[in-house]
């Protein structure tokens, strides 16, 4: 039985939450509701005590630019653009990271040598690392991760979780991670079965 659907659940800034479920149980749908991409849900969702059903485009733009960052399961990278062009699409909107900071994240992730490669030429694991770095190039109160490490080996998962932990700590931000059950080495204040 789900601990989320039709139950009162709250996420607090600065805390980590794990949502686990089998394939097809609604992990991606839940994130689409939280991110305002879908509105076909029953019940209420509140963000900072405001019902998101009242949000217009201006409010959603503010929330997506300043409060929520999201690593989509399907990554949503632009295949015809380079790694840096994909990252800079986000960073130019927010001016959150300096160019040197982005290169440092690429180096830490082991893909600095791919900075000028077109994304379509990269492996899924490399693309996942790019999507994570891009998500870090904005201010946020919560980072939403939808099965973000499914194409990474243990070593690269450890590297990326380390990078994410540092970013969360520096910002005092919260994490909501959806997975098939893997915990990925984060410390969670609460776990939910979807």
pLDDT of residue 1: 77
Of 128, 122, 193, nearest in space to 164 by CA: 128
The pLDDT, as a whole number, for residue 8 is 94
Consecutive H or E run containing 102: helix 99-108
**What is the rounded distance in angstroms from the CA atom of residue 160 to the CA atom of residue 100?**
18
Which residues in the chain land under pLDDT 70? Answer: none
Return the pLDDT at 181: 87
Show me where the domains of the chain are located.
Answer: 16-193
- Helix H, strand E, coil C: the string for 104-146 is HHHHHCCCHHHCCCEHHHCCHHHHHHHHHHHHCCCCCCEEEEE
Q: What single DSSP character describes residue 117?
A: S
What fold does the segment set 16-193 form as a domain? Rossmann fold (3.40.50)
pLDDT in tens, 46-73: 999 999 999 999 999 999 999 999 999 9
């Amino acid at each position: 039985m789900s601990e989320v659907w039709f139950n009162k659940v709250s996420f607090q800034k600065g805390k980590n939450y794990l949502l686990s479920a089998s394939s097809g149980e609604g992990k991606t749908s839940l994130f689409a509701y939280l991110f305002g991409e879908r509105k076909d849900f029953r019940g209420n969702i509140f963000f900072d005590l405001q019902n998101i059903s009242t949000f217009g485009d201006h409010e959603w733009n503010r929330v997506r630019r300043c409060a929520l960052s999201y690593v989509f399961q399907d990554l949503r990278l632009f295949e015809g653009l380079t790694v840096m062009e994909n990252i800079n699409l986000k960073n130019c909107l927010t001016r959150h990271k300096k160019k040197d900071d982005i290169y440092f994240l690429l180096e830490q992730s082991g893909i600095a040598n791919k900075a000028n490669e077109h994304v379509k030429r990269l492996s899924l694991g490399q693309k996942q690392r790019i999507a994570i770095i891009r998500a870090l190039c904005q201010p946020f109160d919560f980072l939403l991760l939808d099965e973000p490490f499914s194409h990474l080996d243990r070593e690269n998962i450890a590297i990326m979780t380390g990078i994410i932990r540092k970013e969360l700590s520096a910002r005092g931000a919260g994490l909501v991670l959806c997975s098939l059950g893997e915990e990925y080495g984060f410390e969670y204040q609460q776990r939910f079965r979807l």
